[in-house]
Structure 1
Amino acid sequence: MKLYTMYTSALQSAAVFNGRLTEVPVSRQQKAKSYRFARDRALSLGAGLLLNQALEEAGIDPRGVAFQASDGQKPVLKGHPDFHFNLSHSGDYAILGVADTPIGVDIEKMTDIPRALARHYFHKGEIAFLNGLSEEGFIPGFYRLWTLKESFMKATGLGFSLALDAFEIQMGSAIGVRQRVNEKSYGFTEVDDLGGYAISICVEGGEIGKVPLQEEEQE
């Protein structure tokens, strides 16, 4: 399993954006150009560039790939059943997770958020975890939990068609999930290499260890 990251601020420059746009497939070019704001265009292009890099490292020509949607509308690579990937972006960072089993990744830039919000989105066991956090520990704890939940939702392929309170992330020395979504097992890990951001990874099939970030250089 690999985790790639790109700091995309340089791609907000029109000259840099246009110079690298043709490196990604037409579908990604169209998606990146569809966004109104330069930051969003940069994040979308950055995600596409990361996927290009991962495909090339796996010996797959990015120009010849085709995608299809899972039942939950998660994009999957046609013809390469052992290449699973997932993208996420927030703030100025795009990330990509790659594994040989279904994977979900989520990154969130940590900003202030009211405690009351937790009651609307989480399972009762998770609410108890959040309520037990100190004032200074609430923001990082909230984003840890949020990214863990979203990474699981993405790993299942169901995404936000799965209700946030339909499963419980169990916070402890080892992260786990209590769920009735399917009969599969899932492993979790967190990445704390980027200050001010929370990053979580969920992979189908069991436990995973610490995953180092692999940064793609901007040109």
Structure 2
Amino acid sequence: MKVYINDNIEKLDLPLALSQISEQRQEQALRFKYEQGQRLCVAAYLLLKEALAEQEGITENPVFEYGEHGKPFIIGHPELHFNLSHCKEAAVCVLSRRPVGIDVESIGRYRESVARYAMNDEELRLIAQAERPEIAFTRLWTKKESLLKLTGLGINDQMKSVLEGASSSWFTTIENIEKNYIYTVCEQ
């Protein structure tokens, strides 16, 4: 499994990139109020196009339909599973023939109120003991969200228990401290 990353979003030629994507994705991108959001949305889609061409020889623009909880799938290719994510610093994509989830997050200021909402007591203890709590929190958050994206459930009020029963072998976490983001891929 290969992760596709664009962490040079500022170099994206937005007008050119918009002309290279589906009308559906153009509309989605242009719903973002700020140009940075538009760039990230387009960049994630372009990564999917790259993955489809490289791994599957598919060169047409993918068009999405959405499952019950909003998880997208590619029309005409039910055998393919993909996931997209972006944060301020990067857009990421993963493509597989098995269910897969990915989440990328900026390493931000640690906020205990958010941690108390999303983390169980053991996770809170791990974060509190970490040399850099913001990194420990972001690592755990991306694991949880990547698993939720794999299942198609999305963020919900069961965040504290999301990782219960999950195997550590399902997750690959990469920390790019220099560029200020962490991503996790989840594949069962």
Fold match (TM-score > 0.5): yes
Name the structure 2 match of 1:97.
Answer: 94
Counterparts of residues 27-106 of structure 1 (less than 5 Å): 27-57=24-54, 58-63=56-61, 65-106=62-103
Partner SS, residue 3 of structure 2: strand
Partner SS, residue 139 of structure 2: helix
Name the structure 2 match of 1:5.
Answer: 5
Select between 69-78 and 21-30 the one with higher mean Cα deviation: 69-78
- Highest CA radius of gyration, 1 or 2? 1
Name the structure 2 match of 1:128.
Answer: 125
The structure where strand makes up a greater share of residues is: 1
Gap regions ≥5 residues in structure 1: 169-176, 205-219
Gap regions ≥5 residues in structure 2: none
For normalisation by structure 2, the TM-score amounts to: 0.88
CA distance in 2, matches of 1:23, 1:164: 37
Check whether the contact 1:72–1:161 (CA below 8 A) recurs between aligned residues.
no
CA distance in 1, matches of 2:45, 2:177: 21
Alignment CA distance shift 1:116-1:92 (3 Å): closer
Identical-residue share of aligned pairs (%): 31
For normalisation by structure 1, the TM-score amounts to: 0.77
Check whether the contact 1:9–1:92 (CA below 8 A) recurs between aligned residues.
no
Q: Which runs of 4+ in 1 moved over 6 A?
A: none
How many residue pairs get matched? Answer: 185
Name the structure 1 match of 2:171.
Answer: 188
Residue by residue over 1:76-104, the C-alpha shift from the partner in whole angstroms, topping out at 9 and shown as x without a partner, is: 12332332110000113110011111111
RMSD: 2.1
The structure where helix makes up a greater share of residues is: 2
Shift of 1:163: 2.3
